[in-house]
Amino acid sequence: MAVEKPMSNVEVREALTLLLQREEERAKGSRRKARRRKRQKQRTKEAGIAKLVKSIEVIKWCVLSISTVMAISMIIGIAVIMELTREAERIKGEVAAIQQDAERIREKIKHPLETIGGTLGRRLEGNIGDFLNTDKPGE
């Protein structure tokens, strides 16, 4: 077995200096890694925030587009309802006129003699009026 000889003061100082330098380098490396991790974490966080902002922007435009389509659909629906209402009123008026005409025709059919008499009476009145107007030479 070999006997180790005790280290001299110079060797102890050199060994301690070497150990301290290695420890300092290890600590520096550790701090660099920590800073690098922190920067990477910060970049990841910023990238996530940027992505979130873009997503919110897309959602905003989607909601705006959907709202616009809904508003246009409602306007078109209201316009169609208004047009249908106008058309229904027009048809209702036409139906009422047709019903009145049908009622007049029904009355004429129910009372044919009155109808014929009324027509003949008007003609007779017209003829008498014409006759009386022609007999009066001064007028």
Domain ranges of the chain: 13-128
The Cα–Cα gap between 134 and 130 comes to 6
Calculate the CA 39 to chain-centre distance.
44
Q: What is the mean pLDDT of residues 17-28?
A: 95
Q: What is the mean pLDDT of residues 96-124?
A: 81
DSSP H helical segments within 1-139, as ranges? 9-110, 112-135
User: CB neighbours of 15 closer than 8 A, spacing ≥ 6?
Assistant: 7
Average pLDDT, the chain: 89
CA 90, 91, 93 angle in degrees (round to 5)?
65
Specify the range with the lowest mean pLDDT, choosing from 10-14, 34-38, 74-78, 131-135. Answer: 131-135
Amino acid code (one letter) for 103: E
Long-range (24+ apart) CB contacts under 8 A made by 94-98 are: none
User: CB neighbours of 107 closer than 8 A, spacing ≥ 6?
Assistant: none
Claim: this prediction has a pTM higher than 0.85: no
110 close to 116: Cβ distance less than 8 angstroms: no
73 close to 66: Cβ distance less than 8 angstroms: no
Judge whether residue 135 has pLDDT over 70: no
The Cα–Cα gap between 42 and 36 comes to 10
Judge whether residue 139 has pLDDT over 50: no
Judge whether residue 85 has pLDDT over 80: yes
User: Per-residue pLDDT tens for 29-67?
Assistant: 999 999 999 999 999 999 999 999 999 999 999 999 999
The Cα–Cα gap between 25 and 74 comes to 72
